[in-house]
């Protein structure tokens, strides 16, 4: 794979609803980076499985990923509990991770010329997808805070769901993501831990910006 030289790469791993997407988007806007919420790819595949169960096989998934445009992903919401739960199931399948892998690495290492680099968030970004990222963060928050954030997000989208249902789903996904054999969620030694439990969006962004600026303005 061809790689663009001298680009800034930010890799973020985090459990569900910890705020990684919000931070990733804000950082990308500020530093002019190509942003990818990698969870959306797994959500999209989960959506395909739920909607086309008879067609769902390796060939079908590969063809869908190959024709996927990064901008199409941005338009997709795919936040329902059903899709979330299915995403954490299909993301354990080896052929699916393999199909998604090259889409992600190409995105990370070959952002369009108009961008200064890339920013990806997910579960295995810091150690598998962009292991040589200039900046690596592990963003987390306590379980109840994360469940409340996701609950409010879903309520804003007029989804019929209770806080308890969201809490249960996030708990289950954490368990799946942390304990699976293939590409589990983990904090690498070289990632900086950011706990967003008591931070609002702005202070979280400023905290990370300070860390980045200190190094790039050196
Ligand atoms: O980040 P998000 O909550 O949207 O991700 C949905 C699911 O996709 C996660 O629970 C996880 O199982 C899976 N995922 C993954 N690897 C990634 C991103 C997401 O396995 N890099």
Which atom of ligand 1 lies nearest, measured to the CA of 42?
Answer: 8
Ligand 1: residues within 6 Å at CB? 16, 38-39, 42-43, 84, 87-88, 91, 122-125, 173, 177
Average of per-residue pLDDT across 166-173:
95
pLDDT the model gives residue 79 = 83
Average pLDDT, the chain: 94
Domains of the chain: 8-205 (3.40.50.300)
Q: How far apart are CA 212 and CA 205, in angstroms?
A: 11
Atom 21, ligand 1: residue with shortest CA distance? 122
pLDDT the model gives residue 46 = 96
pLDDT of 55-100, one tens digit each?
A: 999 999 999 998 888 777 766 778 888 999 999 999 999 999 999 9
Which residue among 11, 48, 77, 122 has the greatest number of ligand 1 atoms within 8 angstroms of its CB, and so is best to mutate? Answer: 122
In this structure, are residues 119 and 32 in contact, taking their beta carbons and an 8 Å threshold? no
The percent helix, strand, coil of the chain (3-state, each to 5) is 55, 10, 35
pLDDT of 118-142, one tens digit each?
A: 999 999 999 999 999 999 999 999 9
């Amino acid at each position: 794979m061809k790689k663009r030289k001298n680009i800034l790469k930010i890799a973020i791993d985090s459990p569900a609803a910890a705020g990684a997407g919000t931070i990733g988007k804000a950082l990308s806007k500020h530093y002019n980076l190509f942003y990818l919420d990698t969870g959306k790819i797994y959500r999209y595949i989960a959506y395909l499985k739920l909607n086309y169960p008879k067609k769902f096989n390796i060939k079908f998934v590969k063809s869908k990923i190959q024709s996927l445009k990064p901008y199409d992903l941005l338009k997709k919401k795919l936040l329902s509990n059903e899709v979330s739960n299915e995403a954490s199931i299909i993301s354990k399948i080896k052929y699916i991770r393999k199909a998604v892998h090259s889409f992600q690495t190409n995105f990370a290492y070959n952002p369009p010329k108009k961008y200064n680099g890339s920013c990806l968030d997910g579960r295995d970004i810091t150690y598998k997808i962009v292991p040589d990222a200039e900046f690596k963060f592990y963003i987390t928050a306590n379980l109840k805070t994360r469940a409340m954030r996701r609950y409010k997000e879903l309520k804003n989208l007029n989804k019929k769901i209770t806080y308890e249902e969201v809490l249960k789903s996030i708990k289950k996904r954490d368990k799946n993501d942390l304990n699976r054999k293939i590409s589990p969620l983990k904090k690498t030694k070289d990632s900086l831990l950011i706990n967003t439990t008591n931070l609002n969006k702005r202070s979280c962004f400023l905290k990370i910006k300070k860390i980045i600026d200190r190094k790039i303005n050196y």
